Structure 1
């Protein structure tokens, strides 16, 4: 596992939908994105922090998007698609993966804030490319294959006081 050092260049990608639903399901609380970003960067050089969000036309979401930007996250916003049968879909998996692969040559460490096992292959790929991969998520809802694919895992459940509002 590559060491953490102060001049490591780091990118933080936050799967906001995954984190939001987990925090609300497990704790009925919101996340403290400032604490998450501080933990992810860990006194290293931040290259990019991107929060991937879904626009669901809820009244407070624009305030949330603005708060993320104030904290230091760039926001990438996708609208929910509603299909003829009434079902809805929106996810950022492919966009996040492409951004991570694109950033790989510019960073030493990649921090994924998500519990989604679909990202295990991405972590394996980035590690193969020489990028340290770190995952932050709630232990009980983070896919085992994702934890195994990463160099390190921070369980947000172990410090609820810090990571939840």
Structure 2
């Protein structure tokens, strides 16, 4: 795998639901998306930053969508689905995976901001294609299989005051 260096082309894919639930269950705080993006990109070339979000008719969510866009993320929004039994579901796993594979042909690095173990196979695929995979998440809620499949892992818990509002 290529080493970390200036000039690498980076795609940042933020699984906002995973980050939200992790930061709230561990610290009852929100993610600082501006710091996250700046940290991930560092001195490299940002090709694309996408934040995958769910519209759940929560207070202030439209303000959040606008704020992440101002920071530099392209918000991809999916409506939550409510089923007849009252259960709700919304996730972006397939969308994130498809975007990562597509972007993999155009970048040196895919930075996956999620701790979801479902992405371990995606990481293995991208690495096989010669793309460096960096995972940014909270260690206490990140799946071991995801961390094992990535080239590097930044444990946001180690610098929680930096990554949380």
Q: Give me the TM-score of the superposition, normalised by structure 2.
A: 0.99
Which residue number corresponds to residue 60 of structure 1? 60
Which residue number corresponds to residue 39 of structure 2? 39
Which residue number corresponds to residue 109 of structure 2? 109
Give the C-alpha shift of residue 90 in structure 1. 0.2
- Counting only pairs closer than 5 Å after superposition, residues 2-151 of structure 1 correspond to structure 2 as 2-151=2-151
SS at match of 2:123: helix
Count, aligned residues: 165
CA-atom RMSD in angstroms:
0.6
In the aligned structure 1, how far is the partner of 2:2 from the partner of 2:146?
A: 18
Give the C-alpha shift of residue 59 in structure 1. 1.9
Give the C-alpha shift of residue 5 in structure 1. 1.4
Give the C-alpha shift of residue 42 in structure 1. 1.5
In the aligned structure 2, how far is the partner of 1:40 from the partner of 1:112?
A: 10
Give 5+ residue unaligned stretches, structure 2.
none
Give the C-alpha shift of residue 43 in structure 1. 1.1
| Cα distance per residue 1:98-156 (max 9 Å; x no partner) | 00001111000000000000000000000000000000000010000000000000000
Q: Does 1:157 align with 2:157?
A: yes
In the aligned structure 1, how far is the partner of 2:66 from the partner of 2:43?
A: 24
In the aligned structure 1, how far is the partner of 2:66 from the partner of 2:21?
A: 19
SS at match of 1:67: helix
| Cα distance per residue 1:3-36 (max 9 Å; x no partner) | 1111110000000000001101110001100111
In the aligned structure 2, how far is the partner of 1:116 from the partner of 1:67?
A: 24
